[in-house]
Structure 1
Amino acid sequence: MRTHLLALGLVLGLGTASAALAGSTAPAQPPLTALTKDSGTPMPAEQKSVHFDHAELHIAVDPARRNIDGRAVLTFTATAATGVLLLDLDRNLPVHAVAIDGQPLAASAWGNPDGRLRIQLPGLLAKDGKLTVAISYGGKPHVAKNAPWDGGFVWSHTKDGEPWVGSAVEGEGCDLFWPCIDQPGGKPDLVDLYVSVPKPLVAPGNGVLVGVSDEGNQRTYHWRARHPATYAVSINVGPYRELKGEYRSRYGNTIALHYWYLPGEEAQAQALFAEFPRLLDFFEAKIGPYPWGDEKMGVVETPYKGMEHQTINAYGNHYAKDGGGFDWLLQHEFAHEWFGNQMTNANWDDMWLHESFATYMQPLYAQHLDGDADYYSWLHRLRLMLRNRYPLVSGSGRTEEQVYDERNGPGQDIYNKGALMLQTLRHLVGDRAFYASIRELVYGRPDPKPGNFAPQYATTRDYIGIVDKVTGRKLDWFFDVYLYQAALPKLDVQRRGDTLDLRWQVPHDLPFPMPVEVRVDDVVHTVPMTDGAGSLAIPAGAVVTIDPHSVLLRDEPRITEFQQWMKQQRAQREAAKR
């Protein structure tokens, strides 16, 4: 979600200073290794040989020293025999001790030269065998230069000078502050997070609050979360105030609502908190039950723009208004509870499954609240940001950096182009099939109810198969063009006397039988476009509009001309500065 925040903020006319209150002055720090910086590199066989059962994380946060002291007690079940445990952890957080099943290991039994902690087990762990590893580590975690786009810890202060700390590690991964398996598929089944902070600071966290304990001038918050996405485990520390409430779901369960905000912002916080119930009602009506209803819907104010931390979404939009009637950042991050946290991409190459669906939720929500004008306004803003330089999906494994790379990857198109593609798909298959496909993708079943579904992993091909199943049609041609090609299809329109000829021009002449609506005076006709072409009789003098409901994602010269003009304007401004 990181690139999208910047681009959309600029298009909406919002400032971006809130994204990095402390990051722009990050002190010099040791560089990250390539392994730590690049989240999602191919998973080693040793990591494939274990299932992550439980993570018990004890993290003491020292804002004055910008330091953390950690102890991770991790439990695994072997899926294949192995003599090595391989974890990811930033080497700039030195490991002090390692124990297996309570027995300390000699220092020679482990090493972490490049950000991948290799632990030699005392003996071979058989398939289905279990082990528990305890790792003591600590130091100064990587400081974000511009969170959330460049990840790490943000050490900031409130306007009253109180410590205000947050983590945002989507890009670089969980290994920036705890030993983990830094892969989309590396989720532990359960995480117990103990965060110790100086009194009277507060440490909101993922999942449910199990308890709070005091020891001297320290206070420890114990949070428990099930199946959290690895980068969605977060640290939040500040002098927070808390708003609490409940939401009675249409599915019969009651969901706890929590918002942690900074002192002095009570009125704005109350207004934002009032959005929580209608957000839940929208998503539960459109998609299905809130996946973490037995934990909470939580939001915490952060010293950076935002991030979809599971059940504790980071919010740093400063309560900005944009005329849309809702806080778009809060809504986008909350969408990721379904698209990202409940349904997780199997590989970063499938990241559009998170971002395209989450982005499409903003125009849908605008339409839900205020009608079609706001819906199409949102879609038009997204359309102006398309780049179409690289396909949304490469078809091979990718790292996070490769996917978000604006110069050599799809970048923000995984948000904007993907959302517009979903608008086209929705029109093609109809609302019933479209939302049925989303439920299958998110929940793995057509009839989700609280308690009858589990977190899902999904690939692009999984979703294509789901759409084929719910529609009873083969729609590979649709996804082959929109997902696996960079260039948009062009619609060639020619008028010959009383005949309108239409023909799709598609990269590599791929099949593309996308129907085209044409309004002739006051009547809308659908041209089937069999084999990518079609014709329509047009009475003399008739007024003709192609795609009157703006449902086709296609190459449009007017938008290309605008984008080129904007590029020239930027270049002229830069030249004037020099």
Structure 2
Amino acid sequence: MIWKAAITLLAAGALAPAAVVSAQDAPEPLHERTALTDLPLEGARAAMQLEHVTLSISVNPQSRQIAGDASYRVLAEDTLDELVFDLDPRFAVRGVSVAGEQLDDGRWTSAEGLLTIHLAEPLLSGAPIDVRITYDGAPHVARNAPWEGGFVWSETPEGKPWIATAVQGEGCDLIWPCIDHSSKQIGTLDLIVSVPKGLVAAGNGRLIGTRDDGDRTVFHWQARDPSNYGIALQIAPYEVARRDYDSRFGNAIPMMFFYLPGKEEGANRLLGEMSDQIAFMEDRFGPYPFADEKVGVAETPLLGMEHQTILAYGNGYPREAYGHDQLLQHELAHEWFANQLRHATINHMWMPEGITTWTQPLYLEHVRGTMFYDAEMWRLRQRVWSRVPLVPPEGDLPDYNDREAKWGDDIYFKGAWIMHTLRYLVGEQALFPALTRLTYGNSNPVPGETKPISRTTHDFRLILEDITAQDLRWFFDAYFYQADLPRLAVKRDGRTLTMDWITPSPFPFAMPVEVRIDGRNRTLMMEGGHGELTLPAADTHFLIDPGNRILKHDAAIEAWQNRDSRD
């Protein structure tokens, strides 16, 4: 997801095309359960695996309604007496069948955000079963997509329907019956979308074909391993810019940009930018994960979202001083960190968001030099709040939009700064191989042989410790599981300079500290969180952390952040 608080900070002028967005009806509040994603898995939801989904959706722009027909191949991971799907209760369930048998209404219930199907006999562990659900209704209208998600019913400048979905914060149950949890993977997806003739439905994966259906057109897309929230509807009178990207791994990757009429020049320019960005990402981290399908982008009336192989782009094709479109680069990087590397639960959402945000200054360093990297890191540092732990305890659901806690900022900016500090601590020779192993599950990923992998912060620590042969519990506890940033207490007594790290962590914070003395840098190893050195003279000027590589408490930034709350 694109970060909300930094639109003006990092992408000045990069506004969603509000002039073409029609007024939205005031959306009704979501049901309490439906408004949340990653609620604890229990019962049947914990023991169901969706091996295959065929999701057919007919979209009616005039009435702002959809009709869905969803077929599933469900694999039981434990003995089941019932099947349970998450589904927004504003949808009416019209029919349910199991193993080809149409069920009477008494065999299933749809209430309180859950569709429960009672089985005639237990489904044994390891056994598959076929399920079909038909439903329809007016889906939830997004209040402020993509941060407060749902459907966006808009119009192009010519008055044609322009529709998009974004449901990362609320979950897939805003669109279709699903298991709304990050850990639940889908094997394969057939997405079949029916739209009024003249419109195009851009979808996940590969386009299998289109067909006429009276005054409508049906688009059939097929995808492997899609994430729940990455399945999206993006509909407009699109035209398509195409080219192939020749990967350094020897394979050709199809690229498709679905743009509104009149935007061909911008779409082709961004395809060129994306080619350079793919080359950078493949060099640093590994092969593009979905090369067998496509690199896809669709112009949308919402700002952006990392929908798998069909990224939402609503930045308006600006010319930026960076030399490339920052928003599109962010969303493209999510194909590696969000769609390939997935957080096991929302509590570890910093991983895809923070690492992706860090790729932005990294890419700037690659194309523009060190000054651009440092300048971007300074911009990001101003948005680190650290009021709550970056990784909340399992079972506690963090609120992305909590304006006081600002966890929704920290998963981007604090996450990026932790990566920046790790680069200083362990070095690139350890960090980049660790990220490759974290992302693909091995150190030598091969195109066509990669599958998405779900990870936790603990997984990341174990991989780094294996590569570096260091115990990094002190680092991970201080930065991920404690709210307060480490503080460096510095004391000068004549020629003696002492430093002590102060954190609420039970582990001594052993972060080495560089000190610049008379133009030369010296590193204190800070064993046990303490360090001491002798200055050449009592009045010698010194500078702590001259490269600004360590994420630590900064009184000046804190005062600046709190400037509006002063009396």
TM-score class, shorter: over 0.9
Shift of 1:187: 2.0
Deviations 1:201-251 (A, max 9, x none): 111100000111111111111001111110000001101111000011111
SS at match of 2:200: coil
Counterpart pick for 1:525 among 519, 522, 525: 522
Structure 1 letter corresponding to 2:262: G
Contact 1:426 1:434 in 2 (8 A): yes
2:444 matches 1:451: no
- Which residues of 2 match residues 233-382 of structure 1 at below 5 A? 233-382=231-380
Identity %: 42
SS at match of 2:359: helix
Structure 1 Cα separation of the partners of residues 409 and 28 of structure 2: 29
SS at match of 1:120: strand
Structure 2 Cα separation of the partners of residues 327 and 496 of structure 1: 50
Structure 2 Cα separation of the partners of residues 31 and 22 of structure 1: 25
108 and 513 in structure 1: CA distance in 2 versus 1, 3 angstrom threshold:
same
Deviations 1:256-297 (A, max 9, x none): 001011111222222212111101001000100111011001
Deviations 1:375-432 (A, max 9, x none): 0111111111111110101232243x53553334622101101110111011100101
405 and 327 in structure 1: CA distance in 2 versus 1, 3 angstrom threshold:
same
Deviations 1:93-141 (A, max 9, x none): 1010111121100011111111110011222111221111111111111
Partner of 1:47: 45
| Structure 1 stretch displaced more, 507-516 or 74-83 | 507-516
Structure 2 Cα separation of the partners of residues 321 and 378 of structure 1: 18
Is there any run of 5+ residues in structure 1 with no aligned partner, and where?
572-578
Structure 1 ranges of 4+ moved more than 4 A: 19-24
28 and 109 in structure 1: CA distance in 2 versus 1, 3 angstrom threshold:
farther
2:175 matches 1:171: no
- Which residues of 2 match residues 447-526 of structure 1 at below 5 A? 447-507=444-504, 510-526=507-523
Contact 2:361 2:372 in 1 (8 A): yes
Structure 2 Cα separation of the partners of residues 192 and 199 of structure 1: 21
Structure 2 Cα separation of the partners of residues 48 and 478 of structure 1: 33
Contact 2:17 2:316 in 1 (8 A): no
Structure 1 letter corresponding to 2:462: G
Shift of 1:453: 3.0
2:99 matches 1:70: no
Shift of 1:508: 5.0
Deviations 1:412-469 (A, max 9, x none): 1011011101110111001011011101110011111113332211111111111111
Partner of 2:201: 203
Structure 2 Cα separation of the partners of residues 12 and 418 of structure 1: 16
Structure 1 Cα separation of the partners of residues 213 and 10 of structure 2: 47
Partner of 1:151: 149
Structure 2 letter corresponding to 1:291: P
134 and 21 in structure 1: CA distance in 2 versus 1, 3 angstrom threshold:
farther
TM-score normalised by L of structure 1 = 0.95
Deviations 1:165-223 (A, max 9, x none): 00001111111111110000222100100011111111110000011111111111100
Contact 1:349 1:403 in 2 (8 A): no
Structure 2 Cα separation of the partners of residues 478 and 111 of structure 1: 48
Structure 2 Cα separation of the partners of residues 553 and 19 of structure 1: 36
11 and 322 in structure 1: CA distance in 2 versus 1, 3 angstrom threshold:
same
SS at match of 1:189: strand
269 and 67 in structure 1: CA distance in 2 versus 1, 3 angstrom threshold:
same
Contact 1:257 1:276 in 2 (8 A): no
SS at match of 2:387: coil
Shift of 1:24: 8.5
SS at match of 1:483: helix
Structure 2 Cα separation of the partners of residues 194 and 360 of structure 1: 36
Structure 1 letter corresponding to 2:478: V
Structure 2 letter corresponding to 1:485: Q
Structure 1 Cα separation of the partners of residues 372 and 564 of structure 2: 24
- Which residues of 2 match residues 5-16 of structure 1 at below 5 A? 6-12=4-10, 14=12
Contact 1:73 1:134 in 2 (8 A): yes
| Structure 1 stretch displaced more, 491-500 or 117-126 | 491-500
Structure 2 letter corresponding to 1:100: V
Deviations 1:468-516 (A, max 9, x none): 1111111010011011111111112222222222111222564101100
Instruction: Quote the RMSD (CA, aligned, Å).
Output: 1.7
Structure 1 Cα separation of the partners of residues 544 and 370 of structure 2: 19
Structure 2 Cα separation of the partners of residues 268 and 431 of structure 1: 35
Counterpart pick for 1:186 among 171, 184, 187: 184
Structure 1 Cα separation of the partners of residues 157 and 400 of structure 2: 36
Structure 2 Cα separation of the partners of residues 445 and 508 of structure 1: 31
Counterpart pick for 1:535 among 517, 532, 535: 532
Counterpart pick for 1:546 among 538, 544, 562: 544
Structure 1 Cα separation of the partners of residues 408 and 28 of structure 2: 27
Shift of 1:23: 7.7
Partner of 1:85: 83
Is there any run of 5+ residues in structure 2 with no aligned partner, and where?
none
Shift of 1:566: 5.1
TM-score normalised by L of structure 2 = 0.97
Q: How many residues align?
A: 566
2:137 matches 1:142: no
Contact 1:22 1:155 in 2 (8 A): no
2:409 matches 1:412: yes
Structure 2 Cα separation of the partners of residues 200 and 534 of structure 1: 69
Structure 1 letter corresponding to 2:87: L
Contact 2:241 2:256 in 1 (8 A): yes
Structure 2 letter corresponding to 1:80: D
Structure 2 Cα separation of the partners of residues 527 and 327 of structure 1: 40
Partner of 1:95: 93
Structure 2 Cα separation of the partners of residues 19 and 379 of structure 1: 28
